[in-house]
Chains A and B, each alone.
Chain A
Amino acid sequence: MGAISGMVGARIKRREDPRLITGNASYTDDFKFVNMSYAHFLRSDYAHARIKNIDTSAAKKHPGVLAVLTGEDLKGKAGEMVAVPFGANCIIPPHSAITSDKVRYVGEIVAVVIADDRATARDASELINVEYEELPAVVDVEEAAKGLPVLVHDGIPNNIGATLEFGDAAKTKEAFANAEVIVEQRFNNQRLAPSPMEGRGCVAVWQKGEDALTLYTSTQIPHYTRTFLALTLSIPEHQVRVVAPEVGGGFGAKLNYYPEELVCAYAARKLGRPVKWSETRSESLASMIHGRGQIDYVRIAANKDGTILGIDITAYQDIGAYYQVLTACISALTGLMATGAYDIPAAYFKVYNVLTNKVSTDAYRGAGRPEATYFIERIVNLLANEIGMDQAEIRRKNFIAKDKFPFATPVGLTYDSGDYDIALDKALEMFDYANMQKMAADARAQGRYVGIGMSSYSEVCGMGPSKGMFTGGGWESATLRFEKTGKATVFSGASPHGQGQETSFAQMVATEFGLDYNDVIVKHGDTSNTSYGLGTYGSRGTAVGGAALSLAIETVKEKANKIAASMLEASEEDVVFDAGKYTVKGAAGGKSVTIQEVVFRAYVNPFDGIEPGLESTRFFEPGNFTFPFGTHICAIEVEADTGEVKFLKYVAVDDVGNQINPMLVEGQVHGGLAQGIAQALYEEIVYDSDGQLVTGTLMDYTVPNAVELPHFELGSTCTPSPVNPMGVKGVGEAGTIASTPCVVNALMDALINTGVKDIDMPLRPEKLWRVIHGK
């Protein structure tokens, strides 16, 4: 694709918005079909218990109830849930959509009621009598890794599902032996609930006459879901259609195939009636996947001048009770990013994937990389404090130099591109670092608690090259079709859900063909009209999906050029295309044809020797991941009397390569920052020692509101990625990855005179107050 020009790079307001701001968009729960029925799931109240008996007789007799299904009813009729294994000796325990022997987390499905309406289904579920024999719950992840108090699954010794290693243990040991300074710290990356504002939900419709299934579902991965439905319910894949309609946020939590989807599809086929399920928020907090849940023991070796020699990490990843689709792979992403933005000669990362009696962890915005960035950005600051070095200087000293890219890291990735100094410099300048440092020091001298924190990150996204993807595929598809009247339609295999590709992809096509932007529309999320696609996650929508579109644009252009040449009676090489018009080179004021005329000719009275029609479907296979980077800096004051936190400034400088629509890029950064800051300050999933979910509603789980988040100042630098034709990198996760350690570093700087080196997140007012007052 050519240079960024025309509409590409412009702040075009979104194509998606008119339907969303008027209440005319259709989310999954908005679909209604004739003869519809409703599912309500009965879930376990126990973290760990044997099911002795389930009596559904009263529920079945309740008026309006169509069916009550338990695990026994699905045996032999539905396959196990899908999980991608990762790591040598990775053991994936059986995971049925509805359990029948034991429950292994609070919220696990025990039975489902299908009824004529929602309330009846819920009423009837209360008539189901389940007899449990309670078992000890496995809650603490480090205890669990010793097999204590019991095993979650028989056959998984010490509850360790897999042990993963990255880097070189011997070389790292040697680096530590030769180091002048060693700093170590345990970091707790707490469990989080992704919390998209729209929970999960689906509507399954069985078309009897065709033996076919349509599933409307709030998902990031419609094609994968189609494949999984086909495999687990033994329906030929071409008889399954999955539609991801308007999706109210995903953040990784909808990058999954859930038991509820399987059960609704099964029930719709069995009953011959559409079945709808819409989860409540309490159900969501208990049974939608969680993110993070990793404990990291980190040691860093350095010389007194700040040169980092090695890093060594032992980690415990809380898997939860079962593996969901990508559960086994998430901690690997931590290992792969364990050296961050730094040129560290020796590194070793070892993680135990540990089963517990909690809901599964899986991908949540950043997925494994925030954990890595958190521990390295925190420990670098502890090291800087130890040797009395400025936090900007220690970063600059250890950055991977810009002439070293592509850079092979000691943990197994090759970073595509980078110039970390320019982002740091820009952030320091925007932040007014020297003056802000003086301000903070002066404030602390007066007994106030003011601190400055920084985080310089590199992250891996644009997922990804198939050989490097856990799922065996990382490509994406796109179709560009010109309709007879000159309108263009894009069909993307990616499945955006708020990111804005209906706008940015239209910008790309409009620019390349000189079209009116309104003459291009973008379709996605329906497996019946898009080529197989892998979906939207891992900041891949544009970096991979957009790249596929750029290939389709190229192919269509080549053919259009051929048709134009025939129309102009010129040779192809002599045809020039500019601003939507084809002319002949050197023939000023001569004949010309418009792209619309070329399109019409492709369909009507086509030339001999040129295949009719004008469309192309292309698949883009990236040669590598992309590696955005940047530096965030913030200043925070802690109110001594209350422990309340006040942001004085937050500056984020991100390099995500070329930007198709900077307004959308900024929106992604804002949202990412919000979620990363939320981890630092507010959010935490809490299970008590019995495995009961304490944070089971939004009253207890603190998704921050507008008052609790600061104003952000954004900047960017541009180092185009060589991995895809557009030089883009992806921006969905950068803000989340960078902001968490930035905020915690600022707070620990504010508390530096207390001598406390680390506080487990979230750093809520009570914890800060206790540190300040020594209580």
Chain B
Amino acid sequence: MKRTITLTVNGTTYTRDVEPRTLLVHFLREELALTGTHIGCDTSQCGACTVLLNGNSIKSCTAFAVQADGGEITTIEGLAEDGKLHPLQEGFWEEHGLQCGYCTPGMILSSEQLLQRNPDPSEEEIRKGIEGNLCRCTGYQNIVKAVQHAAKNSTAKA
């Protein structure tokens, strides 16, 4: 039996009927056509599906859509403001922090949470902060540089 949920994604509020077994990632991708959030594994290892729910990064393949009822979600599509890239998006572009790009949206959202908690992380802290996200292309070195670039240029920094 379907259930009605209401949630805000990237500032827009949606009300939809969903099957209780619908995963949040499928809801975002299929129901809201926000295909920037990707699916990379079935077991919460890879983090390609990472989004922010009420400010916390979560793996949306391991949450049901109904669990996000009433919540506020940020996906990769909601990061740039008024056509201006988010400092992390700039950082990934400037530092060649991506190749195939599949892990990138999740990697950026995990990094966003990292920088919110620690605006000036060391290389070690960055590596630790993104250990829940797998990248198969970059060997992570340029991702570290991308996050450092964003930390340096972030206006959110106190």
Contacts and interface: CB of A to CB of B under 8 A. Distances in A.
B57 interface: no
Contacts of B108: 21
Given A248-B102, A705-B134, A712-B141, A17 B36 contact: no
A304 interface: no
A43 B29 CA distance: 26
B100 A17 contact: no
A697 B96 CA distance: 29
Interface stretch (A171-179, A191-199, A286-294): A191-199
B128 A707 contact: yes
Given A197-B103, A667-B138, A697-B42, A23 B127 contact: no
A278 B35 CA distance: 14
Given A18-B93, A282-B42, A196 B140 contact: no
Contacts of A712: 139, 141
Interface string A21-33: 1111111011010
A697 B45 contact: yes
A697 B43 contact: yes
Contacts of A671: 99, 136-139
B131 A14 contact: no
Contacts of B41: 281, 697-698
A497 B100 contact: yes
A699 B43 contact: yes
Interface residues of A, number: 56
A663 B38 contact: no
Interface residues of B, number: 56
A408 interface: no
Interface in B99-152: 99-105, 108, 123, 126-128, 130-144
A1 interface: no
Contacts of A266: none
Contacts of B36: 22-25
B75 to A, nearest CB: 7
Given A21-B93, A281-B43, A698 B134 contact: yes
B89 interface: yes
A162 to B, nearest CB: 31
Interface string B81-93: 0000100010011
B68 interface: no
**Chain B: interface secondary structure?**
loop
A499 interface: yes
A22 B101 contact: no
A674 B140 contact: yes
Contact of A119 (B21, B79, B102, B139): B21
A664 interface: yes
Interface string B29-62: 1000111111111110110100000000000000
Contacts of B80: 22
A251 interface: yes
Instruction: Give the interface SS of chain A, mostly helix, strand, loop or mixed.
Output: loop
Contacts of B96: 13-14, 663-664, 666-667
A246 B36 CA distance: 12
B76 interface: yes
B93 A698 contact: no
A690 to B, nearest CB: 23
B130 A706 contact: yes
Contacts of A27: 35, 38, 102
A674 B140 CA distance: 8
B89 A709 contact: no
A78 interface: no
B77 interface: yes
Contact of B140 (A32, A247, A706): A706
27 contacts: A13-B93, A20-B98, A21-B89, A22-B80, A24-B36, A30-B35, A32-B33, A195-B136, A197-B48, A197-B134, A198-B100, A248-B101, A249-B136, A251-B136, A667-B99, A667-B137, A670-B139, A671-B136, A675-B136, A697-B41, A697-B43, A705-B131, A705-B132, A705-B133, A705-B140, A707-B131, A735-B139
Contacts of B142: 666-667, 670
Q: In this complex, which of A198, A280, A709 has the most chain B Cβ atoms within 10 angstroms of its Cβ?
A: A198
